[in-house]
Amino acid sequence: MADIGIPPFHVHPGHAFEGFELLERVGRSALLLARCGCGVVLDVAEARFARCPDCAGGGGGCARCGGSGRIVDHAALEWVQNIR
């Protein structure tokens, strides 16, 4: 049986997708929230990061990673449907 992969986050039909919100939590892993244009949190994933390819993880004044040296690894995210 072929692996079908991890499904993408859910969307509200007819609504615009607002974007992602990264929640850094002290002593715990960061969470990535997928938000609908109406403000609802659609799904949640434990944030997974990769080294920034533009600055090789050096950070500094990098426009892509904002100086953190890391970017979200979207392929590694496992979305969990948010209870609405």
What secondary structure does DSSP assign to 1-52, as a single string? -----PPPPP--TTS-EEEEEEE--TTS--EEEEEETTS-EEEEEE--EEE-
- pLDDT tens for 26-35 read 999 999 998 8
- pLDDT tens for 33-54 read 988 888 888 889 999 999 999 9
Q: Residue 9: its pLDDT value, please?
A: 63
Query: With a threshold of 0.75, does the pTM exceed it?
Result: no
Q: What distance in Å separates the CA atoms of residue 47 and residue 15, rounded to the nearest whole number?
A: 24
